[in-house]
């Protein structure tokens, strides 16, 4: 019985639309938590009632002379607005939207230097109201705004988006912020693209959220149809059948106009399916890895414009090579609204077909706890094995007893030797994603083509709320390179007993500890600085290692 037949036999499409938690578990104790995560199934239909809120706020900000809106969020609170702004924007005459989902001091300092506090507003977004990254960023920017505008005037430039009753909602009142917008409490973060988490920041940036919602409503309607031509069910069945055939590396290639959409899909797929030793790994590529290097663990999704001949050729080449291909043509950027819906329904149904709960993230908290342990000194970070011209090298997890390497190439060779068919390499970079990582991404494509395994370049701490769940809870097929730098640039976090730089570094070290505890093969390169020369040297060593491996 194929996956679509299983969906139809179980009446899974209708049960999902009816928010039936028994679709995902037989455990009575788990039904209520799952039910509390199923409120996204009609978000598009209800979104029309939320549009005036976003547009009215945008008008108020325009009257205040706001030219820049900064979104302080992480994961499900930031990725959908990021996609919307890059696919649909910028809107002429509207404020620029800056999505800040990093604790990198240099990134924060650069943004502060580029902004004028008199024309800047902020959206502070956190479902739980306790997420450390946006809350730390808030205290930094709030002090900056208070110093420039005064406490009361500064408070009017902050909008809170959170669930009802969270500590952040209470803090909004205490800190006299402009307004707290209540998010639907029965929608998990990664399924919240069409909630106020996505629509409010996009609306403040002047994007056509009404047009986006229209496309979403059309897709939501057909995703409720209990038949084989349901687009969400079609994608779910395709992914599940590919997984059953050993194709657990879901490669996503998109036209340049839709490239950022992969970041949102990445979190949705990895965090929803990567648990209990199973999972589907999203691999984001731009076509630079030839189809000839794809192994039997690959399946390909192409999202493209109708005139993108390069993406069309890549898809056809994959088909000719026997790789399962799903291809979607989007006639206009606003159609991305429908893709949010298609993928949410597809991933939920894929969870059913896999026998996992797609709405929890049981292994994410482990890295958070390790980070806290690093910050308070209670955790012991694996020590470096060798200082190679200022770069501190640490081999951990299943590589902990490896001989200390003599050079960077030798350190990377430890990872190269672990790359066998069925594995993947994840480069986990705690470095600013402002062009600095371009050599690493180029080298990753070279390594993937030569080693014939997927290579993912992930930016920390963003990935901790995304693929980080799959890295620890999914299949033991990951090989990990953590890149950090001992930068002297920092920023105080008002009211905290740690600086932003200490938090940034602790998040990398917490994940190092967690991956090591799970026995994953992991190497950390701690660079003496985060300069382009240092990063380029690592990229050069990556290429050299795979060419001689």
pLDDT digits (tens, 9 = 90+) for 333-346: 999 999 999 999 99
Distance CA 319, CA 25 (A): 36
Q: Which superfamily does 364-548 belong to?
A: Glucose-6-phosphate isomerase like protein; domain 1 (3.40.50.10490)
Q: Average pLDDT of 289-309? A: 97
DSSP letter at 20 equals -
CA torsion, points 278, 37, 223, 336, in degrees to nearest 10? Answer: -90
Phi, psi of 304, deg, nearest 5? -145, 165
Average pLDDT rounded to a whole number, residues 139-144: 98
Q: What is the mean pLDDT of residues 272-298?
A: 97
Q: Is residue 100 scored above 80 in pLDDT?
A: yes
Listed by start position, the domains of the chain span: 3-35+223-354, 43-211, 364-548
For residue 2, give Cα distances in angstroms to 7, 17, 170, 238, 290: 9, 22, 50, 9, 30
Arithmetic mean of pLDDT over the chain:
96
> Which pLDDT belongs to residue 227?
86
- Separation between Cα atoms, residue 116 and residue 205, nearest integer Å: 17
Let me know if the fold of 43-211 is the same as that of 364-548: yes
How far apart CA 289 and CA 216 sit, in angstroms, is 32
pLDDT value of position 146:
98
In the structure encoding, which two tokens stand for residue 53, read together? Answer: 């809120």
Read off the pLDDT of residues 355-385 as tens digits, 9 standing for 90 and up.
Answer: 999 999 999 999 999 999 999 999 999 999 9
Confidence of residue 228 (pLDDT cuts 50, 70, 90): confident
**Cβ-contact 82, 260 below 8 angstroms:** yes
pLDDT over 90 at 500, yes or no? yes
> What percent of the chain clears pLDDT 90, i.e. is strictly above it?
97
Q: What is the pLDDT of residue 163?
A: 97
Calculate mean pLDDT across residues 127-141.
Answer: 97
pLDDT for 549 equals 52
Residues above pLDDT 70, as percent of the chain? 100
CATH class held by domain 3-35+223-354: alpha beta
How big is the CA angle at 116 (ends 115 and 120), to the nearest 5 degrees? 85
Phi-psi region of 208 (alpha: psi -120 to 50; beta: other; left: phi over 0): beta
User: What are the φ/ψ torsions at residue 15 (nearest 5 degrees)?
Assistant: -65, -35
Q: Has domain 43-211 been given CATH number 3.40.50.10490? A: yes
- Model confidence pLDDT, tens digit, residues 29-80: 999 999 999 999 999 999 989 999 999 999 999 999 999 999 999 999 999 9
pLDDT of 429 above 60: yes
**Mean of the pLDDT values across residues 318-329?**
98
* pLDDT score, position 547: 78
pLDDT band at 548 (very low <50, low <70, confident <90, very high): low
pLDDT for residue 9 is more than 90: yes
> Which residue is it, tokens 């788990």?
30
Average pLDDT over residues 476-481: 98
């Amino acid at each position: 019985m194929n996956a679509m037949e299983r969906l139809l036999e179980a009446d899974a499409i209708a049960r999902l639309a009816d928010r039936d938690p028994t679709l995902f578990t037989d455990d009575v104790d788990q039904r209520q938590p799952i039910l509390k995560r199923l409120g996204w199934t009609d978000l598009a239909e209800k979104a029309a009632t939320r549009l005036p809120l976003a547009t009215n706020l945008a008008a108020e900000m325009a009257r205040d002379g706001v030219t820049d809106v900064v979104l302080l969020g992480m994961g499900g609170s930031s990725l959908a607005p990021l996609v919307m702004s890059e696919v649909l924007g910028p809107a002429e005459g509207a404020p620029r939207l800056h999505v800040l989902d990093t604790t990198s001091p240099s990134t924060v300092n650069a943004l502060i230097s580029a902004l004028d506090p008199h024309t800047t507003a902020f959206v502070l977004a956190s479902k739980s109201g306790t997420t450390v990254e946006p809350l730390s960023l808030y205290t930094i920017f709030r002090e900056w705004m208070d110093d420039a505008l005064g406490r009361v005037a500064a408070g009017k430039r902050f909008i809170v988006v959170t669930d009802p009753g969270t500590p952040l909602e209470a803090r909004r009142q205490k800190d006299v912020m402009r307004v707290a917008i209540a998010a639907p409490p029965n929608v998990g973060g990664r399924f919240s693209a069409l909630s106020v988490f996505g629509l409010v920041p996009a609306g403040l940036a002047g994007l056509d959220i009404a047009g986006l919602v229209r496309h979403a409503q059309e897709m939501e309607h057909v995703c409720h149809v209990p038949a084989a031509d349901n687009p969400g069910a079609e994608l779910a069945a395709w992914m599940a059948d590919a997984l059953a055939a050993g194709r657990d590396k879901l490669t996503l290639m998109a036209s340049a106009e839709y490239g950022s959409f992969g970041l949102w899909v990445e979190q949705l797929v990895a965090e929803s399916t990567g648990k209990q030793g199973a999972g589907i790994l999203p691999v984001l590529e731009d076509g630079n890895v030839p189809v000839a290097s794809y192994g039997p663990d690959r399946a390909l999704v192409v999202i493209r414009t109708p005139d993108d001949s390069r993406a069309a050729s890549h898809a056809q080449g994959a088909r000719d090579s026997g790789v399962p291909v799903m291809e979607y043509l989007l006639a206009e950027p606003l159609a991305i609204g429908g893709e949010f819906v298609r993928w949410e329904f597809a991933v939920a149904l894929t969870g059913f077909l896999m026998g996992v709960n797609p709405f929890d993230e049981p292994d994410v908290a482990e890295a958070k706890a390790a980070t806290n342990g690093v910050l308070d000194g209670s955790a012991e970070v694996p020590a470096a094995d060798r200082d190679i011209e200022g770069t501190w090298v640490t081999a951990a997890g299943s590589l902990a007893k490896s001989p200390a390497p003599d050079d960077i190439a030798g350190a990377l060779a430890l990872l190269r030797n672990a790359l066998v068919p069925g594995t993947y390499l994840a480069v986990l970079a705690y470095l600013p994603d402002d062009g600095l990582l371009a050599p690493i991404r180029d080298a990753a494509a070279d390594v993937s083509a030569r080693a014939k395994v997927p290579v993912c370049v992930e930016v920390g701490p963003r990935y901790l709320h995304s693929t980080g769940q799959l890295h620890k809870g999914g299949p033991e097929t990951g090989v990990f390179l953590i890149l950090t730098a001992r930068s002297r640039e920092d920023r105080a976090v008002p009211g905290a007993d740690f600086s932003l730089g200490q938090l940034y570094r602790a998040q990398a070290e917490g994940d190092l500890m967690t991956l090591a505890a799970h026995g994953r093969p992991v190497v950390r390169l701690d660079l003496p600085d985060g300069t382009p020369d240092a990063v380029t040297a690592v990229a050069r060593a990556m290429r050299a290692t795979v060419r001689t491996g």
